[in-house]
Amino acid sequence: MSWLPHVDLPVAEDGNGRFLPMMIGIMVFLATLAMAGALAVENVVDSWNRDVTGTLTIQIMPAEGTPEESERVTSARLEQALGLLRAESSVADAQAIPVPRLRALMEPWLGSAELVADLPMPRLIDVTLREDKPIDLGDLAKRLADAVPGATLDDHRLWLSKLVGLAEGLGTLARVVVLLVTLATAVAVVQATRSGLATHRPAIEVLHLIGAQDDYIARQFATRAMLLGLAGGLLGLLLALPAILLVGWLSSDIEGGFVPKVTLTLAHWMLLLCLPLAASAVAMITTRVTVLRTLARML
Amino acid sequence: MGQNRDHRSVRARFWDRWGGQIIFRKQRDRRDDAVAARFDAVGLRYGTGPEIFTDIHFELAAGSFHFLTGASGAGKSSLLSLLYLAQRPTRGSITLFGKEVTTIHRRQLPAMRRRIGVVFQDFRLLDHLSTLDNVALPLRVAGVTEEEIRRHVPELLSWVGLKEQMLAKPPTLSGGQKQRVAIARAVISRPDLLLADEPTGNVDDRIATRLLHLFIELNKLGTTILIATHSESLIQRFRMPRLHLEDGNIQVLDAPRTPARPPLPGSALNALGALGNPGEGDG
């Protein structure tokens, strides 16, 4: 263990010297990947959510019948849809797009206004959503369709909102994995540390009997456990980093901007760097507690 | 004549190295503690078993030298473990250096233990540490600087003839060498009380005699010494007062007056020098 800094009292090899760093390394690797996944999914969801929120467009198909009747029914439906939308808490504003403006919009495709004057035109409602209120587009679309015949909600956004739901589910799952892996690491470190310390009992006894303070004895073993944990944790992180960067690079390579770039913010990186520190802290605290407990049983 | 001069020079050397400087802790006024250890009505039992000791009374005057005798299983090791504070008695009171230790707080025990040197029967050396580090252990634990350790531990090691084995680990040492490491560890901090459990069990008579002289030198510097032994020849040769354990009781037997305590066989310096010959048939 020449790579470890000098401890006041060298601790005997107990098998944990290799086992503990390796185990913590693997655990940190898995936890890092899971956490990176969770964080990246969170980023994706955020950017998709930004697309979903903001504005959306409602289309109302013209009703059947004579032009006059159609016009009358469609207008009634338009008002009905506007009423429904304005009653929504997540809707900031809903405005019907005036027919002349619609015709102007159509002109490049349909030619002069006179020609299309008699054509039944779908009517559009421009909806501005409130930033601070979540909206269930699927539910809104359904209620709109039920209440107002011929009303449809822009389906790209609807589909995206379903995707966001899936991604959020995945994010939650990844977070649960992180939690479980962290828990498993802690339990494994506690067990390994305890069984390793059985080897050191004679040494602990001798130190105790020649007048060492409990704190001094605990420090010798805890320092070593901390260093072993840190070494393993950093190794795991080191192995996980290329994997994260690779995924990020692959996702940035997809064209069309459909899949938002998988990037981690500085705060996320800091969180990842905390994993090895947490693992070594668990190893250190367990060792300290175990040694102190062993000593407390001696006079 | 030459014998005396040699003898004095050993004491002088020992005092210079281990007594005069008192580098390892503040000098205490030993005169204040006329009694190193006192047992009053001490009883000891393990669990619900029978009492090993019943109503033990005795006193070790500061600077005294006693053998502790008794048949195997009479409780010699148990008595020593009470003295080196590995356990508390079931009843009664034990006083060390004027302090009642049966009621003392746990936190104050390490400081007491540092005044006591112990040579364990099974040595209890740490196998992963070199001879040097093993002997330095009591100093490190007491917070002595590495500089002091480097200055004094090798000196004591060459003094007990383990200069060549300084960096060797205990598993490579012979039984006699391990014993000397254990003794060096017990005396390195110049304890006020030295307890030894069969310290000559692993060596032949000649080496045993020389180790005894080391203890005698230490005793002359003021250390109270109690040595558990069942070696009749030692008891016969070194006429010291005895604590004799029998049937759970202790008897203090004065040093036999006849024959008179013989002079040290050969000079102490030679004796200790001879210890320095490695590979001597002491294994």
ipTM score assigned to the predicted complex? 0.79
Amino acid B274: pLDDT: 37
Average pLDDT over residues B127-150: 91
Amino acid B83: pLDDT: 94
Q: Are residues A299 and B106, on separate chains, in Cβ contact within 8 Å?
A: yes
Domain ranges in chain A are 16-49+163-296, 54-134
Closest residue in chain A to residue B126, using alpha carbons only:
A203
Using a CB-CB cut-off of 8 Å, the residues of chain A touching B113 are: 209-211
Q: Are residues B137 and A206, on separate chains, in Cβ contact within 8 Å?
A: yes
Tokens of A72: 């009358």
Amino acid A212: pLDDT: 92
Residue of A8, A13, A213 with shortest CB distance to B140: A8
Residue of B87, B110, B133 with shortest CB distance to A211: B110
Whether A96 contacts A78, CB under 8 Å: yes
Residue length of chain B: 283
Residue of B86, B106, B142 with shortest CB distance to A209: B86
A246-256 pLDDT, tens digit each: 877 776 666 55
Q: Choose the CATH number for B2-25+42-123+186-275 among 3.90.550.10, 3.40.50.300, 1.20.1560.10, 3.30.360.10.
A: 3.40.50.300
Q: Is B86 on the interface with A (CB under 8 A)?
A: yes
Calpha distance A138→A148 (Å, rounded): 15
The helix (H) or strand (E) run that includes residue A138 is: helix A137-147
Q: Which CATH class is domain A54-134?
A: alpha beta
Q: Are residues A9 and B140, on separate chains, in Cβ contact within 8 Å?
A: yes
Residue of B84, B126, B129 with shortest CB distance to A209: B84
Calpha distance A33→B77 (Å, rounded): 58
At residue B18 the predicted structure's pLDDT band, cuts being 50, 70 and 90, is low
Q: Are residues A210 and B138, on separate chains, in Cβ contact within 8 Å?
A: yes
- Give the orientation angle of helix A201-209 with respect to helix A266-296, to 10 degrees: 60
Of A150-159, A262-271, B141-150, highest mean pLDDT: B141-150
At residue B169 the predicted structure's pLDDT band, cuts being 50, 70 and 90, is very high
- Which ranges of B166-231 does DSSP label H, i.e. alpha helix? 175-187, 205-220
Amino acid A297: pLDDT: 87
Q: Are residues A10 and B133, on separate chains, in Cβ contact within 8 Å?
A: yes
Whether B128 contacts A13, CB under 8 Å: yes
Q: Is B41 on the interface with A (CB under 8 A)?
A: no
At residue A80 the predicted structure's pLDDT band, cuts being 50, 70 and 90, is confident
Amino acid A7: pLDDT: 53
pLDDT above 50: residue B24: no
Strands (DSSP E) found in chain B: 35-45, 51-61, 65-70, 91-96, 99-100, 116-119, 193-197, 224-228, 242-246, 249-253
